[in-house]
Structure 1
Amino acid sequence: MLIALRGRYNQRELAEALGVTARTLRRWEVGETEPPPYLADAIRQRLLPFTEDATRSDAPFRFIDLFAGIGGIRMAFEAVGGQCVFTSEWNSFAQKTYLANFPDSAHALNGDITKVHEDDIPAHDVLLAGFPCQPFSIAGVSKKNALGRAHGFADETQGTLFFDVARIIAAKRPAAFLLENVKNLVSHDKGNTFRVIKKVLEEELGYHITCKVVDGAHFVPQHRERILIVGFREKTHFSFDDVHLPNARPTMSSILHPQDGSEEPEGHYTVGPKAKVDDRYTLTPKLWAYLQAYAEKHRAAGNGFGFGLVRPDSVARTLSARYYKDGSEILVSQGPRKRPRRLTPRECARLMGFPNDFVIPVSDTQAYKQFGNSVVMPVMREVAVAMKPRILELVDPELAKQKSLLAA
């Protein structure tokens, strides 16, 4: 692509447009160094605006996937017809899982979003982000003015990853966004973090936001409360009351390996004609003794700390990214006088609402981290269902009107 552009731009012009030195550009051209993965998107946005129509499809709306993890939110929005046009995820192991499950993406998988200029991100209708929670350090506006520093979101949120969400929203003005975070975001840093986020989104960026804490236990046998922040560029009738949350609560029997031969053995997770869970997932005598002693110590002190033992009729605690260490928050009972076992990565995938054909190409340790950091996909899908008509009202008002008339 770079060589083709040299017919339209000289080396200096091309380097300036891409924000690099002519020397760097030359190294890319001769293969001395590898260009960054977002280069193709940068070229499309800055130098080939006429190609934008080529990236469009029949999808009713386009979205970008930031802090993408293993793609749970993307999967949810693709399920309602959206087209992903940009992805960012910095962790190389998560990238491997993401690429294994979205092999046909027409765009590159970008790494560190802090290194991607907002001008290099394609136009989109919806921004999706499960951004990490970080505290903000805020000085008074008068002090900033005295120091000659700008204030507003570019200053209040600088150094945090929410800043990257805000700068992209400011530059691209998508019709809508969905942000996901831990429930404790509301109380994080004595409420300062959430206050700044709301101020930036509502007052400085001018979006209309709605927030709700949703428990994934409506869809999977796991208590997993997450705060969802939905924003629209203009006022809409979106309400979390329109998000379908089933009353029936599933139990662990719906995600555990049946071990009766009704499913095929998978990798090293299950073995033999009955697809029994491999012995490697059973706790060692030493670890089991330690966890019992630890729990007893805290019980004696009047604390509730300890392992979580589940059976087929149970609902589990929240799966965490530290599950690979000892599995203590969710241990599966294997009967009296038997040591319990960890969940297999496949059971973790099911516990997060991922389909059985979701590819797990990484080690168990990495898989546990990835699912522990992921979203309950069916929750995101139902939010996408509720958001879609409101998105279309802003993206394509005529189409939204036609669909409304057909549904009447």
Structure 2
Amino acid sequence: MKTFKDTEFAHIREMTGYSVKEVAELFGKSERTIYRWENGESMPEENLLRELTSIYNVRSGQQQTDEYNFKFIDLFAGIGGLRKAFESIGGKCVFTSEWDLACRKTYQANYDCDHPVNGDIREVDLDNMPEYDVLVAGFPCQPFSIAGVSKKNSLGLPHGFHDATQGTLFFDVAQMIERNRPKAFLLENVKNLVSHDKGNTFKVIIKTLREELGYHVDFRVIDAKPFVPQHRERIFIVGFREDVGFAFEDLKLPQSGPKLGSILHPENGSEEPELPYTELTDAKVADKYTLSDRLWEYLQGYAEKHRAKGNGFGFGLFGPEDVARTLSARYYKDGSEILIKQEGKNPRRLTPRECARLMGFDKAGQAPFVIPVSDTQSYKQFGNSVAVPVVEAVASHMLPYIFKAMRSTKDTNQAEMLFEKVEAYV
């Protein structure tokens, strides 16, 4: 049985899994200082003890307190998957931008917004943004031009990302980072961003973030399979204004994940009925989600046609012990990528409630995610969203470095204030 030291600091440090050396590096202290705190020879700094406690609470899945750890803004917010994840590590959202009205309806039904949900990001007044520490954005991917910088210089025209990304929505994100200089950011996109336009798009993005905006950037493609029962690969790009030592290679992912049975309606009366997704009797899935004979015959014929040509196109048929394909925004059309087997009848689509569970918006012990829109809109929204538990893992990994970045900024500001006082005195 593991024996903990008597002091609160030592107990929390050991519970987080950090070594003394790791805590010393994270806090910018000597190992001797950490040992003194652990042995009770001196008291730890109150703010550092709070940081360590917050990191422990996040990693152990405990509820965050009302006191927030940092402020963040949520761009291309969709239905708030990134927000949900960053609130789970003690972030406070102070600004939201989402142009789609149906997404805004869902967003506002689920989050306590003490600020308006802004529309088009291109119309945001960058000079009147609230103060924030972290920027998060699931920006859409658009084609970029590769700027001829020397020619632009000779003509006195904008160059660099101001030209190469002009007209794309990434340009607006980059502009905001350039203007507000947040301590950190998280950008999320589809896996194909890396190979888009033969890799040129991704090269422009990374060059912009690293060379032109001066951030320390790392990225990683992560499959949601260890967290939810679907294959869903997305790229996550993390940047810090200061070199705080963040690296994706340190992020450890679960070795195995859940199966589809964990998110499907049990249909045995063990859950409360939810109209219109389930019927009142035993909460069985409503008949409308079962494919018609005509649609089922069409999908089988379409799959056979392509199979004969040697193509892999076709429907995906799954049972409770399987892991599904990626849920896409086109799911409302025919549901073909994720069809659920049914005994003695045609397969069915997932219900919107099952989609909420599949994407990690619904969790045991929490109130169900509110779905105030039609099935068509909800399928589009969940299909376009992030898998929340994946972002929670990334955000949790970022938290110690966000604290470190905030302390670095605070120390710099204090040094500048002291210098100004000395200058004034002299």
Q: Deviation of residue 139 (structure 1)? A: 3.4
Residue in 2 that maps onto 1:384:
395
1:50-98 deviation digits (Å, cap 9, x = unpaired): xxxxxxx831210000000000110001011010000000000000000
Q: Which runs of 5+ in 2 are unaligned?
A: 1-65, 412-426
Q: Which of the numbers 59, 62, 82 marks the counterpart of 1:73?
A: 82
Q: Is it true that 1:347 corresponds to 2:358 in the alignment?
A: no
Match of 1:282?
290
User: Once the two structures are superposed, what CA deviation does each residue of 1:182-223 show, in whole Å capped at 9, x if it has no partner?
Assistant: 000000011111000001000000000111000000100000
Deviation at 1:397, TM superposition (A): 5.1
SS of equivalent residue, structure 1 residue 396: helix
Query: Could you tell me how far apart the structure 2 residues matched to 1:283 and 1:299 are?
Result: 21
Superposed, 1:51-130 pairs within 5 Å as 58-102=67-111, 104-130=112-138
Change (3 A) 1:247 1:399: farther
Distance in 1, matches of 2:113 and 2:309, equals 54
What is the CA distance between 1:398 and its match in structure 2? 10
**Alignment partner, residue 275 of structure 2:** 267
What SS is found at the alignment partner of 2:348? coil
For 1:348, the aligned partner's letter is: C
Structure 2 CA distance for aligned equivalents of residues 58 and 284 of structure 1: 52
Q: Distance in 2 between matches of 1:110 and 1:242?
A: 35
Structure 2 counterpart of 1:393: 404
1:316-364 residue CA offsets vs partner (Å, 9 max, x unmatched)? 00000000000000000102x5210000000001110112510000000
TM-score (norm 1): 0.82
Q: How does 1:201-220 map to 2 (within 5 A)?
A: 201-220=209-228
1:118 Cα deviation from its structure 2 partner:
1.2
CA 1:278–1:244: 2 relative to 1, 3 Å: same
Residue 240 (structure 1) aligned with residue 248 (structure 2): yes
* Residue 371 (structure 1) aligned to one of 382, 394, 418: 382
**Deviation for aligned residue 1:138:** 2.4
Aligned partners of 2:146 and 2:204 also within 8 Å:
no
Tell me if the contact between 1:66 and 1:130 (Cα under 8 Å) persists in the aligned partners.
yes
Residue in 2 that maps onto 1:163 = 171
Equivalent pair of 2:147/2:163 in contact (CA under 8 Å): no
Secondary structure of the equivalent of 2:347? coil
SS in 2 for 1:277: coil
Give the match's secondary structure for 1:272: coil
* Paired residues of 2:360 and 2:388 also in contact (CA < 8 A): yes
Within 1, Cα distance between the matches of 2:85 and 2:153? 44
2:329 matched to 1:321? yes
The offset of 1:399, in angstroms, is: 10
How far apart, CA to CA, are the structure 1 residues paired with 2:385 and 2:402?
Answer: 24
State the 1:145 CA deviation.
Answer: 2.7
Structure 1 residues 293-313: Cα deviation after superposition (integer angstroms, max 9, x where no partner): 000001111111100000001
The amino acid across from 1:99 in the alignment is: Q
**Residue of structure 2 aligned with 1:186, choices 152, 175, 194:** 194
- Structure 2 Cα separation of the partners of residues 338 and 244 of structure 1: 42
**Alpha-carbon contact 2:147-2:160 (below 8 Å) kept:** no
Deviation per CA, 1:199-258, whole angstroms, max 9, x where unpaired? 100000000011100000010000000000000001112222343421122110000000
SS of 2:234 mapped into structure 1: strand
Q: 2:155 aligns with which of 137, 144, 147?
A: 147
Tell me if structure 1 keeps the 8 A contact 2:74–2:95. Answer: yes
Q: Is 1:392–1:399's contact at 8 Å kept on the other side of the alignment?
A: no
| Paired residue secondary structure (2:182) | coil
Contact 1:65–1:129 at 8 Å: present in 2 too? yes
Normalised by the length of structure 2, the TM-score is 0.78
Contact 1:188 1:194 in 2 (8 A): yes
CA distance, structure 2, for counterparts of residue 178 and residue 60 of structure 1: 16
Query: Is the 1:281–1:341 Cα contact (8 Å) retained in structure 2?
Result: yes
Superposed CA RMSD in Å reads 1.5
SS state at 1:138 partner: coil
Q: Residue type of the partner of 1:393?
A: K
